[in-house]
Structure 1
Amino acid sequence: MTTNDSPTGAEGVDPLDGLDFEPSQEAFDVDATPAAQVELTELEKAQAASAEHLGDLQRLNAEYANFSKRAKREQELARNRGIEDLLVGLLPVLDDVSRARQAGDLTGPFEAIADKFTATLTRFGVESYGEAGEEFNPAVHEALMHQTSPDATTTTVTAVIETGYRIGDRIVRAARVAVVGPEA
């Protein structure tokens, strides 16, 4: 390698010595130029708009989820009201079927029809209740007759005059019963 081939020149002195080639901080500062400020402002605006749209989307999603839940609850309530209304309309028929069964008059094809009828109501959540020997509960029983007995320790159902019906926890008709209770 000759002295002319060296980067420092012939005399060993750097020809670029004395010239300031250090880039200033302004050259790397994005905010220093107006064009960069405009781009940053547009970026900030786009990010703000994006955040606003995301918030709107999340709010709409939450509203839809709430609406969907409310619609399902209302649909279930309407269904239950429909079943309850039908049951109230069928109560006289159910009472006649129950009386015929107790009297032994329900036989043959009529018994099969009554069993299917009862099974269908059960499928829709209708439950009958009220039996002799149960403890009297004024929340689910309606006492039409009351007797006292020295042998009774609690008030007990002695006879069921009309069967009670409920759908889930909701009483459609209280069981109408005769009870016996302890003497006062």
Structure 2
Amino acid sequence: MQRATALALLGLSALVLLPGSSSFSISPLAPPSSTSPLSTRAPPFAALGAPLLRSPHQTQGFPVLRMAEEGKESKEEEEAAPEAAAEEAAAEEEAPEEDPFAGLALDSPEFLKRKIEILEKELSDAQADTASLDDLVKRNILKTSSAAELKDTYIRLAADFENFRRRSATDLTNAKNAALTSVLKDMVTVLDNFELAAANVKPETDKEESIKSSYDALGKQLTNSLTKLGVVAIDPLGEEFNPMLHDAIQQAESTEYAEGKVCQALQRGYKVGEQTLRAAVVVVSAGPGPEGGEEPAKEEAAAEE
């Protein structure tokens, strides 16, 4: 006890390894003196104590600590991965699917073309799947019964697609004809106005005759354009009344045409192929018809009108 107290009073002691010796000695440290030339020198044990007190892991950049931190980061990444995947899946579910038919009318040609493109892609995918099935059966990976069921599904899909393609081709043709019919009806009305003007204009001077000739030329161009588009005029005079081609507004007695036949055409009709573009407005004969049973030729009747 007395010895410990004495050491405390004398100051800090340290183990010093004497040069050329294997023994240690205890040397008290004297208080630093500003006048002593040795006051600026480090304690004799400082050079020896520093390496002894330094951790061997410090010279390697703390690998143990770094490994622990990397393990912690890896664990955090593994824990965050399922959450990120779940968030991504939720975002995909929340995101609205793009409608391939957006802005397209159900009866439009563009809608039918888009539908055919989608079905062709599905059929191509099904064909690729069928080839893969054959390969899996050959490699004994897939049972023959399962492959047969999938092939039946593909065959039904191919048949449905072929039927749809035929219907789509028909619908597309009908849609084009409907659009063409709508345009041709307007053009026919314009042609009626040209013919009406030509029938009522009576030129008196050379200038007026020149103007009338110009309008007649435009009317002929319009008629030629309609002919190129397949428009055919309906000539009903002397024909049996046909409700699909004729629009009867009245019946009248006629000694020229037999009962039930068209005796007068009030407005010319037109048709495109087998489709009636506009029915001819006619008057139907109520009899008694010609005495000799012979009706005038269409050319003569047209000349008389």
Q: So what's the TM-score if we normalise by structure 2?
A: 0.40
Aligned to 1:130: 235
Deviation at 1:145, TM superposition (A): 4.2
Which residue of 73, 87, 106 maps to 2:170? Answer: 73
Per the alignment, do residues 163 and 151 of structure 1 end up closer, same or farther by CA in structure 2, a change over 3 Å counting? closer
Identity %: 27
Residues of 2 paired with 1:150 and 1:159: CA distance?
12
Report the residue type matching 2:258 in the other structure. T
CA radius of gyration, larger in: 2
Report the residue type matching 1:62 in the other structure. A
**Is the 2:236–2:246 Cα contact (8 Å) retained in structure 1?**
no
Equivalent residue runs for 1:21-100 within 5 Å: 46-100=143-197
Per the alignment, do residues 101 and 132 of structure 1 end up closer, same or farther by CA in structure 2, a change over 3 Å counting? farther
Aligned residue for 2:233, secondary structure, equals: strand
Which residue of 274, 279, 283 maps to 1:178? Answer: 283
- CA-atom RMSD, angstroms? 3.1
Aligned residue for 2:244, secondary structure, equals: coil
Deviation at 1:77, TM superposition (A): 1.1
**Is the 1:135–1:154 Cα contact (8 Å) retained in structure 2?**
no
Could you tell me which runs of 5 or more consecutive residues in structure 1 were left unpaired when the two chains were aligned. Answer: 1-41
Deviation at 1:56, TM superposition (A): 2.2
Deviation at 1:129, TM superposition (A): 0.5
Aligned to 1:146: 251
Per the alignment, do residues 159 and 149 of structure 1 end up closer, same or farther by CA in structure 2, a change over 3 Å counting? closer
Q: Deviations over 1:68-115 (max 9, x none)?
A: 112111111111110121123334212113334555879644333323
Aligned residue for 1:147, secondary structure, equals: strand
**Is the 1:149–1:183 Cα contact (8 Å) retained in structure 2?**
yes
Deviation at 1:54, TM superposition (A): 1.8
Residues of 2 paired with 1:131 and 1:102: CA distance?
20
Could you tell me which runs of 5 or more consecutive residues in structure 2 were left unpaired when the two chains were aligned. Answer: 1-138, 203-210, 290-305
Q: Deviations over 1:123-144 (max 9, x none)?
A: 3332221343333333321223
Report the residue type matching 2:190 in the other structure. V
Corresponding position: 1:117 with 2:214: no
Residues of 2 paired with 1:139 and 1:67: CA distance?
31
Report the residue type matching 2:192 in the other structure. D
Q: Which has the higher strand share?
A: 1
Aligned residue for 2:253, secondary structure, equals: strand
Aligned to 1:165: 270
Per the alignment, do residues 154 and 101 of structure 1 end up closer, same or farther by CA in structure 2, a change over 3 Å counting? farther
Residues of 1 paired with 2:239 and 2:269: CA distance?
13
**Is the 1:132–1:158 Cα contact (8 Å) retained in structure 2?**
yes
Per the alignment, do residues 148 and 131 of structure 1 end up closer, same or farther by CA in structure 2, a change over 3 Å counting? same
Q: What number of residue pairs does the alignment pair up?
A: 143
Residues of 1 paired with 2:232 and 2:255: CA distance?
34
Deviation at 1:150, TM superposition (A): 4.7
Residues of 1 paired with 2:252 and 2:233: CA distance?
25
